[in-house]
Amino acid sequence: MKSLSKLSICLLSFALFGCANPSLSPATPMPSQIVNIENHSFTDPKIAIKSKIPRTQQCRATPSDIAACQAVGGEIVESGMAGCERCIVQFADAGKTCQDSSECLGDCFAVDVHLVQPPTGKTNLKGQCSASNSPFGCRARLENGKSLGVLCVD
């Protein structure tokens, strides 16, 4: 029996577990569902934003979760395969060219990540600042212009 490639395993895993509950709304928020935090004032935007984005303690946001999320300019959105509600905040520097997450309000991710041959170990890579704090998707985070591999979160 032939051994399965990493891509085959990934596709098989998606086929077995990747079907979301059709009764839930889409996992990806529409642009109108995400609020830009550009007009909010913070002394150190990166630290203040990341530390103030609330995390829901359960799959469904409580009224206090919703209020805390709205206080930082976020929106509660169903996301991920489980469809749990999360506070999603759009970052004002989304798409800015970067080589390290320290240059972004969110994270710095490599552009055009390929699952078959991820850019692991290559140096001097350029990426883009993340659009929001949503952890979902397949991405390669950059540190000092170097990718440490691809991480896929559903």
User: pLDDT tens digits for 81-128?
Assistant: 999 999 999 999 999 999 999 999 999 999 876 665 656 666 788 999
Note the pLDDT of residue 27: 39
Enumerate the domain spans of the chain: 28-153
Placement of tokens 């976020």 in the chain: 74
Closest to 87 in 3D by CA, of 33, 46, 128, 45: 33
The Cα 38–Cα 27 span in angstroms is 24
- Read off the pTM: 0.62
Note the pLDDT of residue 104: 97
The Cα 6–Cα 104 span in angstroms is 31
